[in-house]
Amino acid sequence: MRPPRALLISALVVIVLTVASVPLLNVTVYTPARTVEAYMSAIEAGNAERAFSYLSSPTPGSTLALNQDVLSASPDLPREASAETLSTEGDRATVRLSYVLSSQTRSIDLTLVRLPAAAGLFDRWAIEQKAWPTLDLDVSGSSTATVNGFSVAAGEVPVLFPATYLVGFDASFLKSKSERAEVTGPGDSPTVTLSPEPTAKLQEAVAKQVDEHLKNCVKSKTLMPSGCVFGYETDNEILGDVEWSIVREPKISLTASGGDLELTPATAEVRIKGRYRDIVTADEQNLDETLSFVLGGSVVVKASKVRVEPRRLGEVSIM
């Protein structure tokens, strides 16, 4: 067993050697370039939590896409990453990062900041992000979208870089084709515009509302049903109430135009019956006319609710 003095000397030697080695380790191991390579290794592995430890960033506005599930589900993550420290001035450094993403070699200069030393000795560096890279999701007709298959709120969605993200949405009433977006650096904010396509469920909901609109309109006993897309104009005196009925229902389909959904113009026919007194001869006669008109309108989908605003295109014609 070593005497206490020998143990103390051995401990002092270890401390001296450790302290003496710190400058060398800080130059060769705990470098800004090594920090960037460690960050890229975490991204390549889809390990979002470990990647966070190499970032100096503000608090993100949303963390919905900042998780391992989203990152690891990326259709393309970087590979063959390498980093080179270009300059170090005080507590800041510039590192050039090269990597391959989507079969393309890319290069970016990153700013790193020095953090409080680990154990009071070893340098710690972090990649500076003054703002999070984001996907700017411009989604017409939906307040949500999916990023790599996971639901997020539309708008600006903070994400990790570098990575490829698959953006789309598939809701009850609207769906879209998926779009690829690449985020290659801290300042990236690619805009992804998604245009809605109606689902069969939406078409059914719209057809139901149009059917209800027309059925409510033909319940009217007047020539010009209030709030309806058809009516009958005449100079003759109408005697009593009139009776409306649907002769031909419009064929309902939807058209997506940019961010708008419209009823595809369709012909409808209604019949009006009653009695009238001729303004010229004063004779009383039966009224029995079939009217034709083209039905159009807009469709609004908001908060999982559908609202149809029907309108007539052109004039009503008498058949």
Q: What is the 3-state secondary structure (H, E, C) of 106-141?
A: EEEEEEEEEEEEECCCEEEEEEECCCCCEEEEEECC
Q: Are 137 and 169 in contact (CB under 8 A)?
A: no
The pLDDT score that the predictor gives to residue 310 is 94
Query: Do 193 and 204 sit in the same domain of this protein?
Result: no
CATH of the domain at 65: 3.10.450
pTM of the predicted structure, to 2 decimals = 0.68
82, 98, 81: which is closest to 45 by C-alpha? 81
Amino acid of residue 167: V
Query: Do 175 and 230 sit in the same domain of this protein?
Result: no
pLDDT in tens, the chain (319 residues): 445 666 555 555 445 444 444 453 444 446 999 999 999 999 999 999 999 999 999 999 999 999 999 999 999 999 999 999 999 999 999 999 999 999 999 999 999 999 987 554 568 999 999 999 999 998 876 778 899 999 898 899 999 999 999 999 877 888 888 899 999 999 899 999 987 788 899 999 999 999 999 999 999 999 999 999 999 999 999 999 999 999 999 999 998 776 678 999 999 999 999 999 999 999 999 999 999 999 999 998 876 789 999 999 999 999 8
Count of domains for the chain: 3
Q: Are 223 and 316 in contact (CB under 8 A)?
A: no
CATH of the domain at 185: 2.60.40.1120
Q: Look up the domain containing 109 and give its range.
A: 4-128
173, 172, 183, 102: which is closest to 147 by C-alpha? 183
The pLDDT score that the predictor gives to residue 259 is 64
The pLDDT score that the predictor gives to residue 278 is 93
The pLDDT score that the predictor gives to residue 28 is 41
Coil, strand or helix at 43: helix
Q: How far apart are alpha carbons 75 and 310 in whole angstroms?
A: 42
Query: Do 115 and 185 sit in the same domain of this protein?
Result: no
Query: Do 66 and 120 sit in the same domain of this protein?
Result: yes
Which one of 197, 212, 239 terminates a domain?
Answer: 197
Which one of 113, 128, 143 terminates a domain?
Answer: 128
Query: Do 10 and 116 sit in the same domain of this protein?
Result: yes
Which one of 107, 128, 149 terminates a domain?
Answer: 128
Query: Do 174 and 278 sit in the same domain of this protein?
Result: no
Question: Where are any strands of DSSP class E within the chain?
Answer: 55-56, 79-89, 92-101, 104-118, 122-128, 134-139, 144-147, 150-153, 155-158, 163-168, 174-175, 179-183, 191-194, 197-198, 237-248, 254-257, 260-263, 266-277, 284-302, 305-318
Query: Do 139 and 192 sit in the same domain of this protein?
Result: yes
Query: Do 192 and 249 sit in the same domain of this protein?
Result: no
The pLDDT score that the predictor gives to residue 18 is 45
Query: Do 147 and 57 sit in the same domain of this protein?
Result: no
Q: Which 8-state DSSP code applies to residue 160?
A: -
Query: Do 94 and 59 sit in the same domain of this protein?
Result: yes
Q: How far apart are alpha carbons 245 and 272 in whole angstroms?
A: 7
The pLDDT score that the predictor gives to residue 122 is 63
